[in-house]
Amino acid sequence: MSIFPTSWENININNSHNVPVTYVSNQNKTYWYWFRSLYQRACSVIILEGLPDSWRGMTKDFLYYCLYRFGYVAAFDKIKKFGFSFQPATLYGYDFYYQFTNAVISNPALDQSLDLKIGTDCELLRLTPDYTGVFDVIDYYATQLSQLSEDVQISLINLKIGLIIGAKSKAAAKILKSALDEINKGEPAVIFDYKSLLNDIEAGEDPYYIFERKLKENYLLTDQLADFSTILNNYDTEIGIPTLPIVKRERMIESEAQSRVIDSKSRSVTWIETLKESIEINNAHFGTHLKARLRYEGGVDNVRENDDNRDKPATSIES
């Protein structure tokens, strides 16, 4: 299911390049805020069950990170001190079908690196079929949300700019200040000395000049907030969280709404099928009872049921 037969060099290239290379989006806190938020949303999509006791807690968090960051881990039981373990690995070698044959494990806790034969000494637990993880998806949307966050902050500041009014004379300025004070106090009407402005009025001139800000001609805060919802909606669709269009047409038929739900499952189905196939291989090799399922497999109405069953022990292999 890979796009093309890959190699470790290709994996490095895919994980290290940004497009365009001249723009660095991750040098601000806003980017990392959204990256962290989107990563946690992605982790909510897949539920892992039947994990060994040593894989629970913070180790489980590390497992999720490796699967989403690298797309795979190597599982093995070659070290008595750690038992059945998993680690990120460097892959090399090809078999007849251009699949990797070896996994090299390097860890500061080990005296030396391990060179393990896949299928004999270890098995791969894979989330994606192309060994690249899903951080590219998270980065893509975090960049957009980070840039939009900057615009929203500017819009919020601009909304605080009050009226800018020019007065032709000191008398006009004094009247204007007094009138604004009365309005801010909640007075229903403001009365001022008409005679002090009589000369300007008789000359056909306005005693005041209001600088028009033309907010409606600019990118409004309401539009920006709507775009936030659109981007998050698209991201949820990308990773497998059921969603409906933000702007629903008045006569949207049921099949159109359902197509959006199906679209939101397209990528997560690939992930869960890849994960289940690799879990089946691991269970057969190591006698474990690992399981994986989609949290939203039955739609949003089935979320509560899935959550209630997430900690129940697995007793069979799910393929």
Q: How far apart are CA 71 and CA 2, in angstroms?
A: 12
Burial of 25 (0-12, 13-18, 19+ CB in 10 A): middle
Tell me the per-residue pLDDT of 96-131, one tens digit each, with 9 for 90 and over.
Answer: 999 999 999 999 999 899 999 999 999 999 999 999
Q: How many angstroms separate the CA atoms of 50 and 60, rounded?
A: 11
Helix (H) or strand (E) holding 137: helix 135-159
Q: Alpha-carbon distance 62 to 49, whole Å? A: 15
Summarised one tens digit per residue, pLDDT across range 52-74 is: 999 999 999 999 999 999 999 99
pTM of the model as a whole: 0.72
For residues 167 and 235, the model is more confident at 235
CA–CA gap between residue 248 and residue 217 (Å, rounded)? 26
Q: Which residues pair with 94 in a beta bridge?
A: 100
Do 30 and 146 form a contact (C-beta atoms < 8 A)? Answer: yes
Domain 1-160+221-319 bears CATH identifier 3.40.50.300? no
Query: Is 70 exceeded by the pLDDT of residue 25?
Result: no
Distance separating alpha carbons of residues 107 and 99, to the nearest angstrom: 24
What local confidence, expressed as pLDDT, does residue 19 receive?
Answer: 47
Residue 80 pLDDT = 87
State how far the Cα of 183 lies from the Cα of 175, in Å rounded to an integer. 12
Token duo for residue 57? 């807690």
CA distance from start to end of the chain: 17
Q: What is the mean pLDDT of residues 28-51?
A: 93
Helix (H, G, I), strand (E, B) or coil at 146: helix
Instruction: Tell me the C-alpha distance between 270 and 132, whole Å.
Output: 14
CA distance 50 to 56: 10
What are the phi and psi torsion angles at 168 (to 5°)? -75, -25
Distance CA 92, CA 115 (A): 10
Is pLDDT of 146 > 60?
yes
Taking the C-alpha atoms of residue 304 and residue 174, their distance in angstroms, rounded to an integer, is 64
Percent of the chain with pLDDT over 70: 66
Q: d(Cα 185, Cα 113) in Å, to the nearest integer?
A: 75
DSSP state, residue 52: -
